[in-house]
Amino acid sequence: MTHHHIITDGWSLGVQFRDLNELYAAFSTGQSDPLTPLAIQYPDYAAWQRQWLTEDRLKDQATYWRETLVGAPASIELPTDRSRPPRQSFTGANVPIHLDAQLTSALKNHSQKHGVTMFMTVLAAWSAVLSRL
């Protein structure tokens, strides 16, 4: 399974894998679904959100973000080895990095100490690096 970090976190993955394990164990032996039905399903949330997001609320939200982002740059000018193309193509590359066991352990400990995920810690560090460019 592949998940983008924006839709799941470590705790949620634990729940998902636990549920999958229970379902697999039951179904592989011919048993029925062992999971307790959820009191609220995603369609319930979607219906609630649709009721809450009235036209006035949507206008208020749009106004808030337009005002909040006044003066924000259209793009961030970072030092690069070549100029931006005249038209954005979304082509790119990645640069793999390796974090040794000692650094990984330190990052995990720091994250746990502050009650955040390791993703949040690394993202904060990367943001700090970018802010200095």
Residues 25-68: tens digit of each pLDDT: 999 999 999 999 999 999 999 999 999 999 999 999 999 999 99
Q: What is the pLDDT of residue 50?
A: 92
DSSP 78-114: ---SSPPPSS-------------HHHHHHHHHHHHHT
Residues 4-23: tens digit of each pLDDT: 777 888 788 889 999 999 99
Please, are residues 117 and 111 in contact by the beta-carbon 8 Å criterion? yes
Residues 57-116: tens digit of each pLDDT: 999 999 999 999 999 988 777 888 888 888 988 888 888 999 999 999 999 999 999 999
Please, are residues 8 and 117 in contact by the beta-carbon 8 Å criterion? no
Q: What is the pLDDT of residue 125?
A: 95
Is residue 123 over pLDDT 90?
yes
Q: What is the pLDDT of residue 111?
A: 96
Please, are residues 14 and 3 in contact by the beta-carbon 8 Å criterion? no
